[in-house]
Structure 1
Amino acid sequence: MSSSEKKESKIYAISVVGGYEEKIALIFAERAQTLKLDVRSIVYSEDLKGTVIVEIGDIKDLFYLIRGIKNVKRKRPIAINLQDVVKLLKPLTVLPSLNKGQLVEIIGGPFKGMKGRVVEIYSTRGEADITLLEGDSKIVVTIPTEHLKVSEQK
């Protein structure tokens, strides 16, 4: 096992001049390959102006990576955790507008295909309590709102 495989990945946000994210990410990739640096991934997003995110094994390699590049604003990268990266890069989902008493169809999860009526909405958690209309008993389940589709009321 080489020393690069033993080290745990660390993720850093590197501040760059806005509009140059793609160019700098390509320069980073070329430099990492040429110098055989322990760079595991390089990510940028048009939505995240002025930032390139780098996953790296050895912190020393990060400084070799950014040293001397003109459009890198700060020479001191900011350590971030994986959950923050996922939040930044995860596409936003459009949540359906729900009202109490509305008929809905469940389009995901274990109750997929069932119909129900909205009892309570928890907008801060992105969930809703639904009374299932299938079967004889009145079962109330909590479902994420992205798994719900508003049914046409007749």
Structure 2
Amino acid sequence: MSGAEEAAGVGRIFAVRTTMGRELDVALVIARRAEELIAKGEDPGISSIVIPPNVRGYVFFEVEKLASLYRLASEVKYVKASRPVKVSPEELEKLIMPKPVVESISVGDVVEIIRGPFRGMKAQVTGIDRNKNMLTVNILEAAFAIPISIPSDYVKQVKKGE
């Protein structure tokens, strides 16, 4: 651990690979084991457990010693990989706080509409209002171009514009 991490009181962060959809089960089993150690007067060595909402198949642990994570995660039914993966705090922050879709889209990009009445259609972005988080698009499958305003979280980017 670096001097800055020790001064800030930050442990090392590790990702444990799990069966997809069973992240909460793994976190609860390991948390229960840690509580049992605390009840016995031992230090489990885990400071926090994080399950990011958009990350499937991984549970993140902040630990003082990797050995304590090995001990708590051993023989848990849904833990897949035998070795936890070290993750930097910056990487975990990106997973927890993803940037808005409107930040990555620019005029001319092709997007797929994933919500609303035009779901499943592809469209080209003709305008962006970043303050209101809205996009103006032209449906590519339409016979003629009619500009439509939709929220940016109703689309996913398919292709970058030229």
TM category, shorter:
0.5 to 0.7
| Conserved 8 A contact 1:66-1:75 | no
The structural deviation recorded for 1:66 is 0.6
CA 1:98–1:68 in 2, change beyond 3 Å: closer, same or farther?
A: closer
Runs of 4+ aligned structure 1 residues displaced above 3 Å come to: 5-8, 96-99
TM-score by length of 1: 0.56
Partner of 2:26: 24
- Displacement of 1:94 after TM fit? 4.1
Residue of structure 2 in register with 1:54 after alignment: 61
Cα distance in 2 between the residues matched to 1:47 and 1:90: 10
User: What's the counterpart of residue 12 of structure 1?
Assistant: 14
| 1:95 Cα offset (Å) | 2.6
Report matched runs for 1:34-45 at 5 Å: 34-36=36-38, 37-45=44-52
Match of 1:79 among 78, 86, 96: 86
Which segments of 5 or more consecutive residues in structure 2 lack a partner in the other structure?
1-5, 39-43, 108-128, 134-162
C-alpha displacement of 1:149: 4.8
Bigger Rg, which one: 1
Q: Deviations over 1:116-146 (max 9, x none)?
A: xxxxxxxxxxxxxxxxxxxxxxxxxxxxx96
State yes or no: 1:65 paired with 2:72: yes
1:7-33 deviation per Cα after TM superposition (whole angstroms, max 9, x unaligned): 850000100011100111111111111
TM-score normalised to structure 2 length = 0.54
Contact 2:15 2:86 in 1 (8 A): yes
Structure 1, residues 29-62: CA drift from partner, whole Å, max 9, x if none?
A: 1111112301111111342111000111122111
> RMSD between aligned alpha carbons?
2.7
Unaligned runs of 5+ in 1: 100-144
Number of positions where the alignment pairs a residue of Structure 1 with one of Structure 2: 100
